[in-house]
Amino acid sequence: QVSAALKEGRVTPTELCQRCLSLIKSTKFLNAYITVAEETALKQAEESEKRYRRGQPLGVLDGIPVAVKDNFNTAGIETTCASNMLKGYISPYNATVVQKLLDQGAVLLGKTNLDEFAMGSGSTDGVFGPVRNPWSYSRQYKEKSVPKSDSKAEESNWVITGGSSGGSAAAVSSFTCFAALGSDTGGSTRNPAAHCGVVGLKPTYGLISRHGLIPLVNSMDVPGILTRCVDDAAVVLGSLAGHDPKDSTTIQDNFKPFELPNLSDVSKLSIGIPKEYHAPGLSSEILALWSKAADLFKNAGAKVIEVSLPHTCYSIVCYHVLCTAEVASNMARFDGLEYGHRSDMNKSTESMYAATRREGFNDVVRGRILSGNYFLLKQNYENYFIKAQKVRRLIANDFVKVFRSGVDILLTPTTLSDAVPYMEFIKEDNRTRSAQDDILTQAANMAGLPAINVPTALSERGLPVGLQFIGRSFQEKQLLTVAKWFENQVKFPMIQLEVKRHDHDAFQHQKSASFS
Amino acid sequence: AARGCGGVWRRAWQRGAGGPSPAPRGQRAVACNARGGAVPAGKSGLAPWEPVVGLEIHAQISSSSKLFSGSQVQFAAPPNSLVSFFDASLPGTLPVLNRRCVEAAVMTGLALNCSINKKSLFDRKHYFYADLPAGYQITQQRVPIAVNGSLSYSLCIDNKMSQMVTKTVRIKQIQLEQDSGKSLHDDTRSQTLVDLNRAGVGLMEVVMEPDMCCGEEAAAAVRELQLILQTLGSSQAVMAEGQLRVDANVSVHHPGEPYGVRTEVKNINSIRFLAKAVDYEIQRQIEELESGGTILNETRAFDSKLGCTVPMRDKEGKQDYRFMPEPNLPPLILYDAKSLPANMNHQQVVNIDLIHERLPDLPSVKRAKLVERYGILPEHSFTLLNEDGLTEFFENVVKQTQMKPKKVIGWILNDLLSYLKQHSLTVKESPVSSFLLADLLNLLEKKEISSTAAKQVLAELWKGEGKTPLEIVKEKKLELIQDQKELEQICQAVIDGQENE
**Do residue B91 and residue A333 have CB atoms under 8 angstroms apart?**
yes
Query: What is the DSSP annotation of A263-292?
Result: ----TT-EEEEEGGGS-TT--HHHHHHHHH
Beta bridge partners of B212: B53
pLDDT (average), residues B371-395: 91
Cα separation, B464 vs B355, whole angstroms: 45
Cα separation, B7 vs A318, whole angstroms: 61
Is residue B436 within 8 A of residue B460, CB to CB? The reply is no
Is residue A272 within 8 A of residue A410, CB to CB? The reply is yes
Cα separation, A261 vs B480, whole angstroms: 104
pLDDT of residue A514: 58
Cα separation, B209 vs B205, whole angstroms: 13
pLDDT of residue A7: 77
Query: What is the DSSP annotation of B315-326?
Result: --S------EE-
Nearest to A337 among B133, B324, B329 (CB): B133
How many CA atoms, within 13 angstroms, populate the side-chain half-sphere of residue A142?
Answer: 13
Backbone angles phi, psi at A402, to 5 degrees: -65, -45
| Mode of pairing for the β-strands spanning A270-274 and A409-413 | parallel
Determine whether A145 is an active site residue.
Answer: no
pLDDT (average), residues A375-387: 96
Is residue B40 within 8 A of residue B286, CB to CB? The reply is yes
Residue of chain B whose Cα is closest to the Cα of A377: B322
Q: What are the extents of the domains in chain B? A: 50-325, 363-484
Is residue A249 within 8 A of residue A210, CB to CB? The reply is yes
Give the tens place of pLDDT for each residue, B467-480: 888 888 887 777 77
pLDDT of residue B42: 52
Residue of chain A whose Cα is closest to the Cα of B192: A349
Q: Chain-wide mean pLDDT for chain A?
A: 92
Per residue, the 3-state secondary structure of A334-361, as one string, reads: CCCCCCCCCCCCCCCHHHHHHHHHHHHC
What SS3 state is found at A181? Answer: strand
- Choose, from A188, A209, A239, A459, the residue flagged as catalytic: A188
**Do residue A246 and residue B96 have CB atoms under 8 angstroms apart?**
yes
Nearest C-alpha neighbor of B237 from the set B220, B224, B250: B224
Alpha helices (H) in B210-270, listed in sequence order? 215-232
pLDDT of residue B359: 95
Give the tens place of pLDDT for each residue, B351-364: 999 999 999 999 99
Sign of the alpha-carbon dihedral angle for B288, B293, B294, B300: negative
What SS3 state is found at B32? Answer: strand
- Choose, from A3, A69, A202, A417, the residue flagged as catalytic: A69
- Report how far apart, in Å, the C-alpha atoms of A476 and of each of A183, A484, B199, B220, B339 are: 17, 12, 40, 61, 32
Nearest to B320 among A333, A335, A378 (CB): A378
Pick from A27-41, A94-108, A334-348: least confident: A334-348
Give the tens place of pLDDT for each residue, B322-346: 999 999 999 999 999 888 887 777 7
pLDDT (average), residues A47-52: 93
Give the tens place of pLDDT for each residue, B215-231: 999 999 999 999 999 99
pLDDT of residue A153: 57
The answer, yes or no, to whether residue B417 has pLDDT greater than 60, is: yes
Give the tens place of pLDDT for each residue, B139-167: 999 999 999 999 999 987 766 556 788 99
Query: Residue A148 — pLDDT band, cuts 50, 70, 90?
Result: low
Number of Cβ within 10 Å of residue B21's Cβ equals: 8
Per residue, the 3-state secondary structure of B153-211, as one string, reads: EEEECCCCCCCEEEEEEEEEEEEEEECCCEEEEECCCCEEEEECCCCCCEEEEEEEEEE
Q: What is the CATH number of domain A1-147+155-262+438-490?
A: 3.90.1300.10
| Chain B nearest CA to A259, separation (Å) | 30
**More confident: A11 or A407:** A407
pLDDT of residue A299: 95
Number of Cβ within 10 Å of residue A18's Cβ equals: 18
Nearest to B85 among A92, A213, A373 (CB): A92
pLDDT of residue A212: 97
The answer, yes or no, to whether residue B443 has pLDDT greater than 90, is: no
What SS3 state is found at A333? Answer: helix
The answer, yes or no, to whether residue B7 has pLDDT greater than 50, is: no
**More confident: B40 or B179:** B179
Beta bridge partners of B251: B52
**Interface check A416 vs B, CB under 8 A:** no
- Residue-wise over B451-485: b if at least 16 C-beta within 10 A, else e? eebbebbbebbbeeeebebbebbeeeebeeeeeee
Cα separation, B157 vs B345, whole angstroms: 53
Cα separation, B276 vs B282, whole angstroms: 10
Crossing angle of the two packed helices B390-400 and B434-445, in degrees rounded to 10: 40
Query: What is the DSSP annotation of A55-83?
Result: T---STTTT-EEEEETTB-BTTBB--TTS
Tell me A377's DSSP state.
S
Backbone angles phi, psi at B162, to 5 degrees: -95, -35
Backbone angles phi, psi at B149, to 5 degrees: -115, -170
Give the tens place of pLDDT for each residue, A172-218: 999 999 999 999 999 999 999 999 999 999 999 999 999 999 999 99
Number of Cβ within 10 Å of residue B415's Cβ equals: 17
The answer, yes or no, to whether residue B451 has pLDDT greater than 90, is: no
**Interface check A376 vs B, CB under 8 A:** yes
- The angle at the Cα of B475, spanning B472 to B478, to the nearest 5 degrees, equals 75
Crossing angle of the two packed helices A13-26 and A38-54, in degrees rounded to 10: 150
First to last CA, chain B: 74
pLDDT of residue A506: 42
Query: What is the DSSP annotation of B474-487?
Result: HHHT-PPP--HHHH
pLDDT of residue B159: 60
pLDDT (average), residues B433-462: 85
Give the tens place of pLDDT for each residue, A443-456: 999 999 999 999 99
**Non-local CB neighbours of A388 within 8 Å, separated by 6+ positions:** A317, A318, A321, A322, A325, A375
Query: Residue B490 — pLDDT band, cuts 50, 70, 90?
Result: confident
Cα separation, A306 vs A410, whole angstroms: 10
Pick from A30-39, B92-101, B332-341: least confident: B332-341
CA B111 to chain centre: 15
pLDDT of residue B34: 38
Determine whether A165 is an active site residue.
Answer: no
- The angle at the Cα of B498, spanning B495 to B501, to the nearest 5 degrees, equals 155
How many CA atoms, within 13 angstroms, populate the side-chain half-sphere of residue B261?
Answer: 13
pLDDT (average), residues A227-240: 96
The answer, yes or no, to whether residue A169 has pLDDT greater than 90, is: yes
Count how many pairs of residues, chain A against chain B, have C-beta atoms within 8 Å. 96
pLDDT of residue B158: 66
Give the tens place of pLDDT for each residue, B29-81: 444 443 444 455 555 556 899 999 999 999 999 999 999 999 999 988 999 99
Q: Chain-wide mean pLDDT for chain B?
A: 86
Give B 183-222 residues with CB within 8 A of chain A. Answer: 192, 194, 196
pLDDT (average), residues B197-223: 96
pLDDT (average), residues A318-337: 95
| Mode of pairing for the β-strands spanning A222-227 and A179-184 | antiparallel
- Residue-wise over A374-399: b if at least 16 C-beta within 10 A, else e? bbbeeebbeebbebbeebbeebbebb
**Do residue A92 and residue B92 have CB atoms under 8 angstroms apart?**
no
Query: Residue A509 — pLDDT band, cuts 50, 70, 90?
Result: very low
What SS3 state is found at A241? Answer: strand
Nearest to B89 among A211, A325, A338 (CB): A338
Query: Residue A471 — pLDDT band, cuts 50, 70, 90?
Result: very high
Which chain A residues touch B194 with a CB distance below 8 Å? 337
The answer, yes or no, to whether residue B105 has pLDDT greater than 50, is: yes
The answer, yes or no, to whether residue B23 has pLDDT greater than 70, is: no
pLDDT of residue B234: 96
Determine whether A69 is an active site residue.
Answer: yes
Query: Residue B372 — pLDDT band, cuts 50, 70, 90?
Result: very high
Cα separation, A330 vs A217, whole angstroms: 8
Q: Omega into A284 within 30° of 0, i.e. cis?
A: no
> By percentage, how much of chain B surpasses pLDDT 90?
57
Which chain B residues touch A217 with a CB distance below 8 Å? 327
pLDDT of residue B13: 31
Cα separation, A315 vs A438, whole angstroms: 10
Cα separation, B289 vs B295, whole angstroms: 7
pLDDT of residue B9: 29
Cα separation, B23 vs B43, whole angstroms: 10
Is residue A59 within 8 A of residue A104, CB to CB? The reply is yes
